Structure 1
């Protein structure tokens, strides 16, 4: 590899602010902010969505779809069984 043309690759702490979760991942991102995490100092990058807060990965999306289907069925056909 040619020297001085590749970005610096380092461990960075990503903070999912929605779920208050921290991830240490190798990245080439630069950040002016740092954080002390597990006894070491890392560059710090806050993010809005990650696998800890995204509905598809947490399973909340499936629950909300099912609740909508059940409510739609009950509104259309009412309570079956005579009560």
Structure 2
């Protein structure tokens, strides 16, 4: 294998600012910021706007909004009918 062609793989702290969650993940991301972590070591640090902690697909909020949309669509099309069978 050729030398010096691969990026530097290291552990990086990612901070999801919308959910205020921190993730310690291996990455090749280059950053100049650092943070002191809970284990006493200093790691490279990167802020992100969205992650699995805040994305609607992973938190289940997307399904709720889709369901609400389907219910509203049904009511708009067919209206609300009483349980007694009045049409």
| Normalised TM-score (structure 2) | 0.80
Over 4 Å off, 4+ runs: none
Shift of 1:81: 1.2
Stretches of structure 2 that go unaligned for 5 or more consecutive residues are none
Shift of 1:47: 0.9
- Show the counterpart of 1:49: 50
Shift of 1:67: 0.5
| Normalised TM-score (structure 1) | 0.83
Instruction: Provide the C-alpha distance between the structure 1 equivalents of 2:42 and 2:32, rounded to a whole number of angstroms.
Output: 12
Instruction: Let me know the Cα RMSD of the aligned residues.
Output: 1.9
Shift of 1:82: 6.1
- Residues 42-68 of structure 1 show CA distances to partners (whole Å, capped at 9, x for unaligned) of 100111111111111111111001001
Taking the TM superposition and a 5 Å limit, the aligned residue runs for 1:1-83 are 1-38=1-38, 39-81=40-82
Stretches of structure 1 that go unaligned for 5 or more consecutive residues are none
